[in-house]
Structure 1
Amino acid sequence: MPNSLNPLQAVADRWQPSARFVRRASFACVVMAVIIVVTGGAVRLTQSGLGCPTWPTCTEDSLTPTPAMGVNGIIEFTNRMLTYVLCVVVGIAIIAARARSPRRRDLTRLGWAQFWIVASNGIIGGITVLTGLNPYIVAAHFLAATALLTVAVIMWQRSGEGDDAPRDLVARPVRQLSWVLVVSTVLLIVAGTVVTGSGQHAGDASKDVHRIPLDFREITQLHVDLVFIVLGLTVALWFALRAVKAPGGPRRRVVELFAVLMLQGVVGYVQYFNDSPEIVVGAHMFGSCLVWIAVLRAFLSLRDRGEPVTLPSPATEPEPAALAAAER
């Protein structure tokens, strides 16, 4: 395809971003994914879920909120607009990954995966509004945001690695233990969405908002049980890494995960014993993002893919005359 018809190739022909720029762009995607989760939680916690009662416009007659809709309309509409900011950040990451030399197709694919998740979750968000905050759709909306965060963290990690075949830094049983930790954390996050769907913060002041018909305290207890399982697996992983004399990097990542889990546990208990105040629930949602990031970083630290290849810049390349002299 001619470069004139391929804008990404045209950019690559004219701009060579540094490895640091690509990594920073990838990290910006992680930050924006967390912001989207937290602001989405703010929409629900301020009862602004139906601040804009329809989608894709805010009202039947207006794209933006009207003065009569008050602060709830502004909050909900602002969250919608943040999706476009997220698209811009992801777009920059895609362009930077495509323009980077040598080309990293895996980074480009991960960037595009984020784009399509954002687009899909935008549609899910619209369905959430059109169904009057159906709790199952709300849960799917949050889990899609978590999927976006997952891909963003993987891209961030891969941007600092090479393209060698993955090489395990630990024995297979330890690697399997890390998989159990990841799966348990996924179950913990899913259980948290069910707690939210059956709890008191429905996202709108209307009493007509449907809730998941499960006992809130029983689901919360299940969520707490999973917390202890994840915490126990984290401690077990640390001892296993120490026993096999794993490199310092993986052990540091597991210690970071343990610290985040403890802080998240404190926030969770404060939330439960104080009847789920909005500000604490918001902090708990932010903490859930940090826990998942820490789990992924610990998991990905258990293998090595070498150092990223960096081509010399034109300024450091030897001149043809110098090469000819060296050959003589």
Structure 2
Amino acid sequence: MPNSMNPLQLIADRWQPSARFVQRAALACVVMAVVIVVTGGAVRLTQSGLGCPTWPTCTDESLTPTRAMGINGVIEFSNRMLTYVLCGVVGLAIIAARAREPRRRSLTRLGWAQFWIVMGNAVVGGITVLTGLNPYIVSSHFLLSTALLTVAVVMWQRTREGDAEPRDRVARPVRQLSWLLVVASAVLIVVGTVVTGAGKHAGDASKDVHRIPLNWRELTQLHVDFVFIVVGLTVALWFTLRAVKAAAAPSRRVTELFVVLMLQGVIGYVQYFTGQPELVVGAHMLGSCIVWIAVLRVFLSLRDRGELASVPAPAGEHDALQTASVPSR
């Protein structure tokens, strides 16, 4: 498509967003990625997973929930509608990144990656309903949401840094330790989804909803084991950064991660010993998103890509500034 016919180019020709606007649009994607996880959890915890028993419509005869479907239909349908809000926020981030000069293709690619993850996850959500809340599909649905959150956080970080080749701020062994932290945290999240798939919150009051046929308590113990691994790696990374006298930013990010892990641990223990009340489980899901964001921020803080480039002044304006800077004789 010629540039003159490209709608994104037409917008770029007429609108020049500030760097701060692009950053806020990317941050809005992060916030919406968390919101979609929490509201999806609300659907499960209120037993509204089959509030709309089919997809893409709510019933075979109606696009929207009917009065007979009650509050469960409203909750499920509202969560579906949030996908359109998410698409709108991601679309705004793509447009803002495309219109910003100098153009940064890496940002628009990250924006489009989010869009296609949202589209793919919408289909997985539909399959979840059509399969009667199959726990393996439900787990995939959550993990795709985590992938969306990952890309959103990376885009947000990229809007605040330059495009130079990544340069490690720490020695290679320290960087490898951060990789271990990321991998262990990812496994922790995956195990957490399996725990949920085997637990009592099936997402619907029907006894026909299939659960993962594994011992829930043993899975929970495995989940706790990985929590201790992640906490241990976090503490080890903090002491390592202090020992090598790393920059203040990475140490601050690790401290933030440790605080988040402690709060999430408290929520997890309360959830376990109180019989998994819905509100506490929902808080734990929110906490898992915040933990993952904190882990990614630690990892991304250990490399440097230079300063964010400023928008070059137009040629005429640049000449005028040069002329004004020449003292009169």
Deviations 1:171-219 (A, max 9, x none): 1000000000000000000000000000000000000000000000000
Question: 1:231 and 1:249 mapped to 2: Cα distance?
Answer: 19
Question: 1:172 and 1:319 mapped to 2: Cα distance?
Answer: 46
Deviations 1:248-297 (A, max 9, x none): 00000000000000000000000000000000000000000000000000
Deviations 1:101-136 (A, max 9, x none): 000100000000000000000000000000000000
Match of 1:155 in 2: 155
Residue range with higher mean Cα deviation, 26-35 or 4-13? 4-13
What amino acid is the match of 1:178?
A: S
What is the Cα deviation at residue 317 of structure 1? 2.8
Closer, same or farther: CA 325–174 of 1 in aligned 2, 3 Å: closer
Match of 1:121 in 2: 121
What amino acid is the match of 1:236?
A: A
What is the Cα deviation at residue 4 of structure 1? 3.9
What amino acid is the match of 1:40?
A: G
Closer, same or farther: CA 16–208 of 1 in aligned 2, 3 Å: same
Question: 2:88 and 2:163 mapped to 1: Cα distance?
Answer: 27
Closer, same or farther: CA 225–61 of 1 in aligned 2, 3 Å: same
Match of 2:243 in 1: 243
Question: 2:316 and 2:221 mapped to 1: Cα distance?
Answer: 61
- Using structure 1 for the length normalisation, give the TM-score: 0.97
Match of 2:21 in 1: 21
Secondary structure of the 1:298 match is helix
What is the Cα deviation at residue 163 of structure 1? 0.3
**1:275-290 maps to which residues of 2 (within 5 A)?**
275-290=275-290
What amino acid is the match of 1:204?
A: D
Secondary structure of the 2:34 match is helix
Percent identical among aligned pairs is: 77
Question: 1:294 and 1:242 mapped to 2: Cα distance?
Answer: 19
Question: 1:120 and 1:213 mapped to 2: Cα distance?
Answer: 27
Question: 2:223 and 2:70 mapped to 1: Cα distance?
Answer: 36
Match of 1:101 in 2: 101
What amino acid is the match of 1:262?
A: M
Secondary structure of the 1:317 match is helix
What is the Cα deviation at residue 311 of structure 1? 1.6
Question: 1:179 and 1:321 mapped to 2: Cα distance?
Answer: 48
Match of 2:137 in 1: 137
1:294 aligns with 2:289: no
1:183 aligns with 2:197: no
Match of 2:261 in 1: 261
Question: 1:313 and 1:62 mapped to 2: Cα distance?
Answer: 55
- Using structure 2 for the length normalisation, give the TM-score: 0.97
Match of 2:41 in 1: 41
Residue range with higher mean Cα deviation, 152-161 or 308-317? 308-317
Unmatched segments (≥5 aa) in structure 2: none
Closer, same or farther: CA 21–325 of 1 in aligned 2, 3 Å: closer
Question: 1:171 and 1:249 mapped to 2: Cα distance?
Answer: 16
Question: 1:325 and 1:306 mapped to 2: Cα distance?
Answer: 29
Unmatched segments (≥5 aa) in structure 1: none
Q: Superposition RMSD on alpha carbons, in Å?
A: 1.8
Question: 2:105 and 2:206 mapped to 1: Cα distance?
Answer: 48
Deviations 1:44-76 (A, max 9, x none): 000000000000000000000000000000000
Question: 1:18 and 1:183 mapped to 2: Cα distance?
Answer: 35
Secondary structure of the 2:318 match is coil
Question: 1:235 and 1:306 mapped to 2: Cα distance?
Answer: 28
Question: 1:235 and 1:274 mapped to 2: Cα distance?
Answer: 29
Question: 2:176 and 2:325 mapped to 1: Cα distance?
Answer: 56
Secondary structure of the 2:306 match is coil
What is the Cα deviation at residue 314 of structure 1? 5.2
What is the Cα deviation at residue 5 of structure 1? 1.8
What is the Cα deviation at residue 318 of structure 1? 3.4
What amino acid is the match of 2:275?
A: D
1:307 aligns with 2:307: yes
Deviations 1:199-246 (A, max 9, x none): 000000000000000000000000000000000000000000001000
1:219 aligns with 2:219: yes
What is the Cα deviation at residue 2 of structure 1? 3.0
Deviations 1:127-155 (A, max 9, x none): 00000000000000000000000000000
Match of 1:172 in 2: 172
Deviations 1:63-98 (A, max 9, x none): 000000000000000000000000000000000000
Question: 1:306 and 1:75 mapped to 2: Cα distance?
Answer: 45
What amino acid is the match of 2:276?
A: S
Closer, same or farther: CA 321–162 of 1 in aligned 2, 3 Å: closer
Residue range with higher mean Cα deviation, 318-327 or 231-240? 318-327
What amino acid is the match of 2:147?
A: A
